[in-house]
């Protein structure tokens, strides 16, 4: 990587802090790695506060507290307070399990700007089967009401898969009832657990077309009122890949629970050695690290990307997807119809019509009682 | 229709903030950010819920005497910002 490219690197505007991979739910679409590691390696409070201070000084402005379930960390309020004082826009990305009216209020006092709650379905039956936990729906429903009553902007996130795609209209009605501001109807992306369960999750093209029609008809009847719905289709049905993470190492910085710094939340799967905030500064990581520079610019690109006039638009697609499907992280994303590996995507769509393996429920981390990390039992 | 006696208010979904690294004002909202150009930033920072449209026009015409009359530009921006739901007016 030459110096010219390095000096052009802008700030990591978006910082995703994955506080823990631990989670009370067992959703098969989870994009966490299938090897969740050990909770004893998690960053402690002071290490996280240092990460926020350093990243903010570099210009990071959006901060997502995510996981796993970030509410499992008892020091969440302290982290919110510190990062809000630094000037971050603070987003809590939660399953809603572990929220109470009191904790929503405490987070507000700490300065939390926004809460995103995930749902797995439009009713308790569907939701709790996918989540692998009883009473999850009722808890989410009550907490979503409280989030709005306490004056937060609220985003609802529904991961759409073959399992719940028939509920799209009911999901949209539920979102209106809960007075969501934005709603993500996001078809599962096939990373981590979701990749292992892809045959059970990937909808057929007909299901996608039907769902999109329902979404559009619903939107037409809204007359500019109610939630703003985003329908995010799986890239498997596209001709061109997504501009993954707005380009490798351009905007997004993920810090995994153990302190690994990653250009996206899935990158750890790649055969690269990623730096860790426990022994490297954020500025060194972002500006100098080999792994972060590895796919910046276009000199790494193979054909057909190298000579493609759309390479500035999609940056060759997703490195993790290329690696998972072809075994080569430098390959053109197989989603692209110009890719010599495009048949792999078409085969995946065929395979999903008749799943042969049983569905895997996401399991949890090996638990360890850390000395300086206080956990909340959910 | 916007008139000069209206008091524009910032939609509580958004937060306006100066970003030193980007050298501009930004609007922050759930998981997103809009970068404002210089003139948009000048107008937005005057939207405090008390200033009327006429106050914003007078302040900016005084601040930038060499720029000519800014009235039309300000109306145009306020109208676009209203459509984007950055602002609202209490009826």
User: Mind telling me how many Å the CA of B17 is from chain A's nearest CA?
Assistant: 8
Please check whether residue A177 lies inside any domain of the structure. yes
Confidence (pLDDT) at A37:
80
Q: Which member of A62, A114, A182 has the closest CB to residue B33?
A: A62
Helices marked H in chain A: 3-7, 45-57, 76-86, 101-110, 124-131, 136-149, 168-177, 193-196, 198-201, 205-222, 282-288, 290-293, 311-314, 319-326, 343-351
Instruction: Return the structure tokens found at A245.
Output: 């993470």
Residues β-bridged to residue A157: A118, A184
Whether residue A273 contacts residue A280, with contact meaning beta carbons closer than 8 Å, is answered with no
Query: A318 a known binding residue?
Result: no
Q: Does B3 touch chain A (CB under 8 A)?
A: no
Give the pairing of strands B87-89 and B8-10: antiparallel
For chain A (378 residues), the mean pLDDT of every run of 10, in chain order, is 57 97 94 85 97 98 97 97 98 97 98 98 97 97 98 97 97 98 96 94 96 97 94 94 95 97 95 98 97 96 96 96 97 97 96 92 65 63
With CB atoms and an 8 Å threshold, state whether B30 touches A113. Answer: yes
Q: Left (φ > 0), alpha (ψ -120 to 50) or beta: where does A297 sit?
A: left
Q: How many CB atoms lie within 10 A of CB A41?
A: 16
With CB atoms and an 8 Å threshold, state whether B30 touches A58. Answer: no
Closest CA in chain B for residue A12: B21
Q: How far is CA A124 from CA A127, A136, A200, A263, in A?
A: 5, 7, 20, 36
DSSP state of A372: S
Gap between the Cα atoms of A290 and A98, Å rounded: 39
Confidence (pLDDT) at B1:
78
Query: A308 a known binding residue?
Result: no
Please check whether residue A341 lies inside any domain of the structure. no
Confidence (pLDDT) at B58:
96
Helix axes A101-110, A76-86, angle to 10 degrees: 30
In the block, residue with structure tokens 């208010």: B9
Return the SS3 of A183: strand
Residue A119's domain comprises 14-232
Please check whether residue A269 lies inside any domain of the structure. no
Confidence (pLDDT) at A365:
65
Q: DSSP states of A295-361 as a string?
A: TSSSTT--TTTTT-TTHHHHTTS-HHHHHHHHS-TTSPPTTSTTSTTTHHHHHHHHHTTS--SPPPP
In the block, residue with structure tokens 């939340």: A265
User: Mind telling me how many Å the CA of B48 is from chain A's nearest CA?
Assistant: 19
Q: Does A181 touch chain B (CB under 8 A)?
A: yes
Return the SS3 of A281: coil
Q: Which of A16, A85, A153 to mutate to test the interface with B (most CBs of B within 10 A)?
A: A153
User: Mind telling me how many Å the CA of A321 is from chain B's nearest CA?
Assistant: 24
Please check whether residue A184 lies inside any domain of the structure. yes
Q: Does A155 touch chain B (CB under 8 A)?
A: yes
Intra-chain end-to-end CA distance of chain A, in Å: 46
Q: Which member of B13, B30, B33 has the closest CB to residue A61?
A: B33
Gap between the Cα atoms of B81 and B61, Å rounded: 20
Q: What is the ipTM of this complex?
A: 0.92
Q: DSSP states of A230-264 as a string?
A: EEE--GGG-SS---GGGSTTTSEEEE-TTSBEESS
Q: What is the dihedral of CA A145, A148, A152, A157, to 10 degrees?
A: 60
Gap between the Cα atoms of A319 and A296, Å rounded: 12
Q: Which member of B17, B30, B32 has the closest CB to residue A87?
A: B17
Please check whether residue A368 lies inside any domain of the structure. no
- In degrees, rounded to 5, the angle at the alpha carbon of residue A195 between the alpha carbons of residues A194 and A199 is 90
Confidence (pLDDT) at A108:
98
Query: A320 a known binding residue?
Result: no
Domain tally, chain A: 1
Gap between the Cα atoms of A169 and A121, Å rounded: 11
Confidence (pLDDT) at A5:
46
Report whether pLDDT(B70) > 70.
Answer: yes
Whether residue A232 contacts residue A278, with contact meaning beta carbons closer than 8 Å, is answered with no
Please check whether residue A347 lies inside any domain of the structure. no
Confidence (pLDDT) at B79:
95
Q: How far is CA A188 from the centre of its chain?
A: 10
Please check whether residue A147 lies inside any domain of the structure. yes
Confidence (pLDDT) at A378:
64
Question: A239: closest CA among A338, A162, A306, A152?
Answer: A338
Domain of A114, CATH number, reads 3.20.20.70
Please check whether residue A73 lies inside any domain of the structure. yes
């Amino acid at each position: 990587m030459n110096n010219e490219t390095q000096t052009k690197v802008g700030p990591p505007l978006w910082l995703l802090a994955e506080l823990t991979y631990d989670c009370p739910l067992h959703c098969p679409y989870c994009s966490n790695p299938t090897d969740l590691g050990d909770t004893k390696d998690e960053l402690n409070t002071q290490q996280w506060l240092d990460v926020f201070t350093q990243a903010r000084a570099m210009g990071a402005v959006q901060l997502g507290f995510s996981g796993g379930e970030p509410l499992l960390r008892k020091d969440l309020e302290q982290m919110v307070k510190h990062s809000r004082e630094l000037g971050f826009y603070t987003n809590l990305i939660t399953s809603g399990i572990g929220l109470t009216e009191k904790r929503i209020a405490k987070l507000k006092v700490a300065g939390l700007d926004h809460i995103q709650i995930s749902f797995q379905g439009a009713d308790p039956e569907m939701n709790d089967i996918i989540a692998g936990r009883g009473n999850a729906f009722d808890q989410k429903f009550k907490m979503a009401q409280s989030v709005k009553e306490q004056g937060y902007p609220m985003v609802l996130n529904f991961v759409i898969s073959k399992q719940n795609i028939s509920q799209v209209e009911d999901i949209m009605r539920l979102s209106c009832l809960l007075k969501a501001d934005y709603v993500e109807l996001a078809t599962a992306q096939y990373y981590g657990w979701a990749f292992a369960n892809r045959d059970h999750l990937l909808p057929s093209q007909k299901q996608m077309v039907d769902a999109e029609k329902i979404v559009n008809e619903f939107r037409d009847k809204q007359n500019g009122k109610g939630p703003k719905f985003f329908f995010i289709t799986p890239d498997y049905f596209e001709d061109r890949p997504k501009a993954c993470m707005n380009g490798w190492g351009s905007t997004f910085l993920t810090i995994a629970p153990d302190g690994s710094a990653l250009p996206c939340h899935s990158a750890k799967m790649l055969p690269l050695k990623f730096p860790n905030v426990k022994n490297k500064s954020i500025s060194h990581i972002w500006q100098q690290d080999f792994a972060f520079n590895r796919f910046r610019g276009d000199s790494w690109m193979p054909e057909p990307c190298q000579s493609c006039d759309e390479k500035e638009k999609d940056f060759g697609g997703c490195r993790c997807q290329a690696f998972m499907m072809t075994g080569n992280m430098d390959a053109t994303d197989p989603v692209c119809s110009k890719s010599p590996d495009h048949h792999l995507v078409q085969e995946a769509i065929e395979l999903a019509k008749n799943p042969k393996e049983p569905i895997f429920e996401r399991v949890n981390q090996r638990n360890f009682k850390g000395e300086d990390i206080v956990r909340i039992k959910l | 229709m916007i008139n000069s006696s209206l008091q524009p208010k910032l939609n509580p979904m958004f937060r306006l903030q100066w970003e030193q690294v980007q050298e501009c004002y930004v609007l922050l909202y759930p998981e997103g950010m809009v970068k404002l150009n210089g003139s948009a930033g000048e107008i937005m920072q005057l939207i405090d819920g008390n200033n009327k449209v006429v106050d914003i026009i007078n302040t900016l015409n005084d601040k930038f005497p060499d720029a000519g009359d800014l009235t039309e530009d300000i109306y145009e921006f306020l109208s676009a910002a209203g459509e984007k739901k950055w602002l609202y007016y209490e009826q």
